[in-house]
Amino acid sequence: MGRPRSADEEAIAGAVLQALVERGYDGMTVDHVARLAGVGRATLYRRWPTKTAMVLDALGRGRIPVLEDPDSGDPQADFLGLLRTLQATFEREHHVIRALQIEAARHPEIGLALGRDFIRQRHEVFVGVLRRAATAGLLRATSDLELQARIGPALLWQDLALSGNEPDPDLPRRIADLIFADRAEPRRSKR
């Protein structure tokens, strides 16, 4: 009967991202992806109307996870946890993210699709955490939560992609410290 559909989809997702990194978007052919995945071309044409749809689907299959809002009751811990998840993803998938940056510059439709179908969801999770923090009076500034939500991911990516240094495991905490107000130390009672 062949492989189960989910096994095909995982193999295809890996093949799509491998082809994107190795050959770029223009060089990523359906024939090459099908060969890498061990499936027929018809399998790809049936499931995805465009190469862009195929790339976005491949990204969404766990390689770059959807961010869930932890809403633990501690917005600063939630923000820090999200930054750590993002940092680990950037470290693990930097080659795919770099390829996407290049291809988004060459093909604006890829950048638009990434923003609409991929980045927006993750950004909204950060904004939601920051809204709770603002309501609780935990932020240094509350004037532009949209911008603050972009700071962490941008600094993490800049540190990994442009610094040439080993990733700084303390960077997520340092970023959170820039955005969140210092917590007051509990007062000790005098006896």
Amino acid found at 78: D
**142 in the same domain as 81:** yes
Q: What is the pLDDT of residue 117?
A: 82
169 backbone dihedrals φ, ψ, rounded to 5°: -65, -20
Would you say residue 45 lies in a domain?
A: yes
Give me the pLDDT at residue 183, please.
Answer: 72
- Phi and psi at 65, nearest 5°, equal -65, 150
**Residue range 163-168: average pLDDT?**
81
- The total of structural domains in the chain comes to 2
98 and 126 housed in the same domain: yes
pLDDT exceeding 90 applies to what percent of the chain? 60
45 and 116 belong to one structural domain = no
Residues 89 and 53 in one domain: no
pLDDT at 174: 97
Q: Are residues 18 and 84 in the same domain?
A: no
Closest among 83, 71, 56 to 173, alpha carbons compared: 83
Same-domain check for residues 45 and 105: no
Predicted local distance difference test score (pLDDT) of residue 187: 55
The domain that holds 20 is classified in CATH as 1.10.10.60
**Which residue segment(s) compose the domain that 110 sits in?**
75-179
Under DSSP, the state recorded for 28 is: -
Q: Model confidence over 97-146: pLDDT tens digits?
A: 889 989 999 999 889 988 988 899 999 999 999 999 999 999 999 989 99
In this model, does residue 5 exceed pLDDT 70?
Answer: no
* E strands, 91-187, in order: none
Report the length, in residues, of the chain. 191
Chain segment 46-95, per-residue pLDDT in tens: 999 888 889 888 888 767 878 899 999 999 999 999 999 999 999 998 89
pLDDT for 188 equals 59
**Residue 144 and residue 82: Cα distance in Å, rounded?**
19
Query: What's the confidence (pLDDT) of residue 16?
Result: 94
CA gap 65, 84 in Å, rounded: 13
**Model confidence at 1: pLDDT above 80:** no
Report yes or no on 84 lying in a domain. yes
Q: What is the mean pLDDT of the chain?
A: 89
The model's confidence at residue 160, banded by pLDDT at 50, 70 and 90, is: confident
* Assigned token pair, 35: 């060969």
The whole-number pLDDT of residue 4 equals 52
The verdict on 95 and 125 lying in the same domain is: yes
Question: Do residues 123 and 175 both lie within one domain?
Answer: yes
CB 151 within 8 A of CB 179: yes
Residues 99 and 25 in one domain: no
What pLDDT is stored for residue 50 in this prediction?
Answer: 87
Same domain, yes or no, for 157 and 100?
yes
Residue 189 confidence (pLDDT) above 80: no
- In angstroms, the CA 126 to CA 79 distance is 7
As a whole number, mean pLDDT of residues 165-180 equals 93
